[in-house]
Structure 1
Amino acid sequence: MDADIGKKTILIADDAEPNRLLLKKIFGGEYYVEEAVNGVEALEKLRQLEDVAILILDIVMPLMDGFSVLEEMQKDEILRTIPTVVITANNEEDIQIRALSCGATDVMAKPFSPLIILHRIKNIMARKDSEKLAEQNRAYRLELKLMDTDEKSGLFNKNAFHRYTKKMLQKNSDKKFVLIRWDIDNFKVFNDWFGTEVGDTYLKKIGDFFREYEEKNDSVKTYARYDADHFVCCQEAEGFDPEEITQIIDDYMTHLKTIEFEYTPRVGLYLINDPSLDVALMCDRALLALRSIKDSYGKRYAWFDDSMREALLEQQEIVNEMEFALRDGQFITYFQPQYNYETGKMIGAEALVRWQHPRKGTILPNKFIPLFERNGFISRLDEYMWEQVCIQLKDWERKGLNLVPISVNVSRRDIYNPHLVGNILSLLQEYELSPEMLHLEITESAYTQNAEQLVNTVNLLRIHGIEVHMDDFGSGYSSLNMLQNVPVDILKLDMRFLGGDYKDERSGNILNAVVRMATALRLPVLAEGVETKEQAEFLRSIGCLLMQGYLFSRPMAVEDFEKLLDGSQTVSALDKSYVESFQGSIDLLSFTSQSTLLFNCFVGGAAVVEYDEKDEVLLALRINDQFLREIGITRMEYAEDGQSIFRYYEGENRVLVISMLQEAIHTGKETCCEIMRKSKLHDMEDNWFKLRARLLKNSMSKHFFYVTMENITIYKEQTVENEKLVHCLSALTNHVDEGLLVLELSENIKIQYSNVRIAEMFGYTQKEFQELFGNDFLLSIHPDDKVLARENFEQILRAGNGVGRRIYRQTCKNGYYEWVSMTGCVVETEKDHICICTTIEKDDENKQRY
């Protein structure tokens, strides 16, 4: 049996033993032979044996003939692949045809020549081995193709492009080639806006573009989707026109625009002078050329040149030296202070890195930070800087200096570190620092690239008391949209958001809106990159008071910053008046649909307004529809007018409104005023309004109010009519001989009205009489007669329509008393008071001087 190890197996199925012995003698020298005496046993052994190379099958057998065995084999996926040679004593053609149609590989008639059958069996096995090898090769080639293919575009992937381009350059050493690289502008934005499914379809269509380009251009070339939204093509340089290829790409991309999305093609080109150069390096050089025109609207393509090569060499030199520089302490911490522009106090500082090179001097961050972010070294530099800041804070604390929080940068790569929070907390614990002293700055773009993980990390940091700032706010593309979900403590507004023309009305309005939105979200805004007084004043005017930039100080070395800490006023936290909540009013500024519905359904006009006390500007942060209807304009007209409330309250009305707001600021109580607004339309009457204001929040020179408006025109008209009526009645009552009083019976007996005659009767002026006795008429009556007078009023109340007169003594201005008689009747009865109209006359019969 050991001699048969490694031999191929032949199964002979024949019920005649002499035939089996003969065949075994023929094949036994080169093959391992198994036997079966019938069809059933043949099938069993086919299933039991691991690898039968060939089956020699007799047609006529007991239990199951050869045809039945063939039919059963065809039903089995594995058995039907085994070559089968049928042997038969019957040489009829129809028997042979039937055997072949049932799946037999060959048919041999008895008797047979041993040499012929041996060679025929060998040939069958050779063909089988050849087919098997070919199938393996096809599968291997398919696997290689799949490994080389980018699944989204159908083009070569990066590795395949490197390999096939190298072979192409070697095979065509007599030709010059150019490497082309281009990308899709803002493809991540495209995916975020329209979804990755639409983005993948876009990539597939770009793959179709390359295949069409190959068909139309017969030059030798390779092409690939290099990574993300970058594509590369290497083709013959002869006849290559950069303007033409740029236009071809532009035309095709324009043709693809089924969705409104702006795309401007820019192409980086590298002429291959040294075919032995690594293809990956060629692609990097084309990328450098592409990046050189990324922000240039005038250039659509650029060739890699010597200056870029020098930059590449400089970058390589940086990479070669970065490890040693970190170990040698060449990375130095600088500090740029941050100020509250309104108070002039320093409220913090940002830690910035400088590379103090022993030969080259100071290397600025823009030379090495982007490179470190690409190669991952930025994470190690960040951790180094965090510790240096902690060391410095501890040193200042020991020196007794006025500490301010220091902000350190956290790169996008740091967010992927699962130990980030633990590392920060360990540093604070090691150097015994309060979490409030170390602030973390994370760029806005980091929130857009890995939002879920970053938000979770930031939430954990804030739970431990570490303040997080969003750096470079405004430089990204989804800033306004993301703020509803982003957990940050301060927005750092990049002044590049304004560009060079920040005084442009549109730019100013955009920035104004951003600051107002941040205020509504209770997020302080710190503007960085402030360089001029003009910029600072503009920022102050829109409510952004926290600033950082060259106007105040350039980044400075530790020694200089220490002097600043030692000699200037500092605060370790923001002024509470700046960051305090809206005292429950934040819901009034909520932009939820429920809040909007509720706000617009308030009875009467309502608005949340901002009053700039310094510049006397009154703007509405939110205003409901009824308020606009009361003013008499549409919301569109109001927006076009610039949202200024004062536009509708000029002259005396403006003075009244300002006085109302000033009173609310100083008292903290609800205040009101009544104003009249003249209609712009000649056929409409003037209207009177009552404004009520309640202070919500103070922020330096800005104040926020909740203001309501009520149309009181009808009430004012009735008041005027009543005043006219009262004037007529007064003129009438002042000419009668008796004194006339209208008294209100409540806890005290108050004078609602008195005519001139009653005051004259006792030597007073009407004004004096009202001031002395207006709140309690009983004070004018002799003490001994007060009970009698009270009883008289109660008698009048019981009688209702009137009573006889009562006698009592009334106080005179000269100190004497006069006897008087009083009659009266009830004129009004309400729940809380009763009004009595009383007539008083002198009673000379009882007159007595004291």
Structure 2
Amino acid sequence: MGRRKYVLIVDDCQQDRMAVADVLRSDYDILEACNGKQALEILSRKRAQISLIMLDLMMPVMDGYEFLEMYRKRKEYSYLPVVVCTTEDDPEREQKSLELGAWDFVLKNSSPGIMRLRAGNAIEKSKVRFLEYDFLTGIYGQQKFYQATRELLDQRAGANFAFIHFDIDRFRIINTLYGSKEGDRLIHFVAGAIRKVMTAYGRGTYGRLGGDVFGMCVPYEDGAAIYHILEGIRAEIRKHSVHYYLETCAGIYLVDDPDMEVAAMHDNAEIAAAQCKGQYMVHDVLYTEEIGQKVLREQHIIDEMDAALAEQQFIVYFQPKYQLKKMAPYGAEALVRWKKPSGEIVLPNEFIPIFERNGFITKLDYYVWEKVCQFIDSELSQGRNPAPISVNVSRVNLYNPDFMDSLIDLIHRYHIPPHYLNLELTESVFSEDAELIQRAVNYLHDAGFTILMDDFGSGYSSLNILKDVDLDVLKIDMKFFSKGNTAEKGAKIIEAVIRMAESLDMMVIAEGVEEKHQVDFLNDLGCDYIQGYYFGRPMSQDQYEKLTNHDEEEQHDMPQPESS
């Protein structure tokens, strides 16, 4: 047998309590209270056991109306049914009770069958409400919201609808820093703001879909109405007293196929909302086919990345660097391309940002490093003296505690002196955690690696970095040497960087060199090395071997730290 349900009978008259108890005792266990205050005390101790409250109205200390006022303020009681049980058939009392949150109204002199039926129905309704309504906020849960939205769409065929995904920006951080109680308080407040604005709008459905995510489906004649709703909700949320930064994001999907599954509509709105993340002052994004295709493309990349790595679909290419004084190749930067079995080439600007977001870049970086180590090992075993190859180190790797040891283990496994493998870090890396980067650079220097700063000058802290971090080589992009009104300024900046690097005993590599006048300009300034399409595009390992072996006698060593 299952656990019997408890009914709390609240009545100041013992005889009336006993009469109601006698009717219900065959189906329920009975608890008794003689006024509303005592009932609240019992509820605070035994809420989980109680399935129904039978409430009288006229009582001393705290009457039924006062009890209902207190009861409806407590969200944990929102699924606990209250049936008012009174002696008088008074429509005004019945209406007031229902307005205060009572679920039903029954006379004390009703037949035992009617009273048991009213009690049972109230308990069954509470089960349905528990499934349909969100416990924390009291608004529709996901299942009921989807159902109500489907009914709305079917009832108003031909109307224009917008499906809105609405969430709290950085909610997990708020929840972690300020605790789950504050997180619950915030979600409850946001739900109240949505309820208030949607009630005033008078049309549409809304619900909590889980966590900090809410959904709304609204009919509209003018698209401005959608943004008016969102601004109204945010205006209400701004009334919430918090001591932390609070922003919200909304994705809007204009329903073009009302027969589409409601869950699919939400998927599209959620995709749009994701475009807000990480963009300052962007709080609303409208779903477009272009956004949908982009996300689909990204998902395909994620779905295929593990198999691609296992099947070695990632191919390492080498873009040669040239020593300007000799106009001869000297080393290269290792770059990666994804060549699918179909022959399709996926460029790094498509997959690298995705891999940096999901952490897969650590695996890809290691794969490239190992491929380059294998190439250097092959060259050394054939008695050649290859120039250094530089590999990129993602910022994600710098937060990987195993990164430095795994890199050192690689060069030991392939018996490669570390000065053959140069490490490129983008300038943006240095702005994130200066102390961490400084420790990493020092550790790698001690191990014998040469460190290059890529994209020097692209950030806002370049000079501070040079002061604080011990780097060996600067890479500057020829985008400074742009055409038009700023060309002269750009040329002066490049000249200043080269002069500064020279005074700091640092080498300079100019990348993105595509035209002869750029080569001549850099040569006149005494730039050490250049990299770009003018001398060579990224090429296969075989092509690079042919290039370097042909010119091997002309190569000269770049000054390197002594290998350890």
Q: TM-score range by the shorter chain?
A: 0.5 to 0.7
**What's the counterpart of residue 264 of structure 2?**
277
1:222 CA drift (Å): 7.6
2:33 to 111, 123, 126: 123
Which digits, 9 at most, give the CA deviation of each residue in 1:525-580, with x for residues without a partner?
2222211123333444455342111111001111110111111155464269xx9x
Residues 625-664 of structure 1: pairs in structure 2 closer than 5 A: none
Match of 2:558 among 574, 579, 582: 574
Cα shift at 1:209:
12
Counterpart of 1:437 (choices 400, 420, 431) is: 420
Is the Cα–Cα contact under 8 Å of residues 208 and 215 in structure 2 kept in the other structure? yes
User: 1:132 aligned to 39, 42, 45, which one?
Assistant: 45
Partners of 1:477 and 1:335 in 2: how far apart?
Answer: 30
Q: Following the alignment from structure 2 to structure 1, what is the Cα–Cα distance between the partners of residues 364 and 558?
A: 29
Q: Structure 2: how far apart are the matches of 1:546 and 1:183?
A: 49
* In 2, Cα distance between equivalents of 1:498 and 1:180: 45
State the distance in 1 between where 2:541 and 2:287 align.
41
Judge conservation of contact 1:405–1:572 (CA < 8 Å) in 2. Answer: no
- Higher mean displacement: 323-332 or 447-456: 447-456
Shift of 1:415: 1.1
Evaluate the alpha carbon distance shift between residue 478 and residue 223 of structure 1 in structure 2; reply closer, same or farther with a 3 A threshold.
farther
State the structure with bigger RCO (CA 8 A, min sep 6), 1 or 2.
Answer: 2
Shift of the 491–279 alpha-carbon distance from structure 1 to 2, 3 Å rule, reads farther
Distance in structure 1 (CA, Å) of the matches to 2:501 and 2:142: 53
1:615-638 Cα shifts (integer Å, max 9, x gaps):
xxxxxxxxxxxxxxxxxxxxxxxx
Amino acid at match of 1:489: D
One-letter code of the match for 2:366? E
**Counterparts of 1:331 and 1:278, CA distance in 2:** 36
Contact 2:389 2:422 in 1 (8 A): yes
Q: CA-to-partner distance for each residue in 1:652-700, whole Å, 9 max, x for gaps?
A: xxxxxxxxxxxxxxxxxxxxxxxxxxxxxxxxxxxxxxxxxxxxxxxxx
**In 2, are the aligned partners of 1:333 and 1:351 still within 8 Å (CA)?**
yes
CA RMSD of aligned residues (A): 5.0
Contact residue 267 and residue 301 of structure 1 kept, 8 A: yes
* Bigger proportion of residues as strand: 1
Does 2:148 align with 1:171? yes
Q: Does 1:526 align with 2:509?
A: yes
Cα separation, 1, equivalents of 2:450 and 2:556: 13
Q: Distance in 2 between matches of 1:466 and 1:502?
A: 40
SS state at 1:172 partner: helix
SS in 2 for 1:484: helix
Distance apart, 1:376 and its partner CA:
1.5
Amino acid at match of 1:177: A
1:373 is matched with 356
**Which residue type is aligned with residue 574 of structure 1?**
M
Match of 1:336 among 289, 311, 319: 319
Q: Matched residues, percent identical?
A: 33
Any unmatched runs of 5+ in structure 1?
Answer: 1-105, 109-114, 143-158, 188-207, 257-265, 580-850
Cα distance in 1 for partners of 2:556, 2:43 equals 82
- Cα distance, 1:232 vs. partner? 9.4
Instruction: Work out the CA distance in 1 between the residues paired with 2:31 and 2:190.
Output: 53
Q: Distance in 1 between matches of 2:528 and 2:225?
A: 49
Against the structure 1 CA distance between its residues 362 and 135, is the aligned structure 2 distance closer, same or farther, given a 3 Å change threshold? Answer: closer
Kept in 2: contact 1:475–1:497 (CA 8 A): no
Secondary structure at the counterpart of residue 307 of structure 2: helix
SS of the residue corresponding to residue 445 of structure 1 reads helix
Q: Does 1:508 align with 2:491?
A: yes
Query: Could you tell me how far apart the structure 1 residues matched to 2:191 and 2:40 are?
Result: 41
- For the 8 Å contact 1:403–1:572, the answer to whether it is kept is no
Q: State how far apart, in whole Å, the 2-side matches of 1:300 and 1:465 are.
A: 47
Alignment of 1:316-355 (within 5 A): 316-355=299-338
Is 1:484 equivalent to 2:506 in the alignment?
A: no
Residues 421 and 449 in structure 2, CA contact (< 8 A), matched pair in contact too: yes
On the 8 A contact 2:272/2:285 being kept in 1, the answer is: no
Alpha-carbon displacement from aligned partner over 1:348-402 (angstroms, at most 9, x marks no partner): 2111111121114322212222221122111111111111110111111122334
Structure-2 change in CA distance of 1:562 and 1:520 (3 Å)? same
| Distance across 1 between alignment mates of 2:298 and 2:488 | 42
Once the two structures are TM-superposed, the CA of residue 505 in structure 1 deviates from its matched residue by 2.9
Inter-CA distance 141–370: structure 2 relative to 1 (3 Å threshold): farther
* Structure 1 position 449, deviation (Å): 2.2
SS state of the match for residue 476, structure 2?
Answer: strand
Closer/same/farther in 2, CA of residues 546 and 237 from structure 1, 3 Å limit: farther
CA pair 237-140 structure 1, distance change in 2 beyond 3 A: closer
Match of 1:553 among 527, 536, 541: 536
Q: Is the 8 A contact 2:165 2:250 kept in 1?
A: yes
SS in 2 for 1:353: strand
391 and 275 in structure 1: CA distance in 2 versus 1, 3 angstrom threshold: same
Q: Sort the Cα spacing of 1:436 and 1:361 in 2 relative to 1 into closer, same or farther, 3 A.
A: same
* Number of matched pairs: 407
Instruction: State the structure with more CA Rg.
Output: 1
**Does structure 2 retain, via aligned residues, the 8 Å contact 1:165–1:234?**
no
Secondary structure at the aligned position of 2:543 is classed as helix
